[in-house]
Amino acid sequence: MTLQLKVPNMACSACGQTITKAIKAIDPTAIVQTDPKTKQVNIETQVSQAAVKEAITAAGYSVA
């Protein structure tokens, strides 16, 4: 399943790495692409969108 989420407070590539790490903690096989310029996170994952949003929120970021 492919998810496209907007993370308004992702400011830099380090933020993207933190978000990627949080998602891979719940789905090690996930493919994550982050773009701090557009605040967009694209995720190819087997877990639910709710679980992904929860992981991103737990890492300290908001999901629009």
- Do 46 and 27 contact (CB within 8 A), yes or no? yes
Q: Does residue 64 contact residue 6 with C-beta atoms inside 8 Å?
A: yes
**CATH architecture type of domain 2-58:** 2-Layer Sandwich (3.30)
The pTM for the full model equals 0.95
Q: Are 4 and 47 in contact (CB under 8 A)?
A: no
Q: Hey, where are the domains in the chain?
A: 2-58
Per-residue pLDDT of 11-64, as tens digits, reads 999 999 999 999 999 999 999 999 999 999 999 999 999 999 999 999 999 999
Residue type, position 8, single letter: P
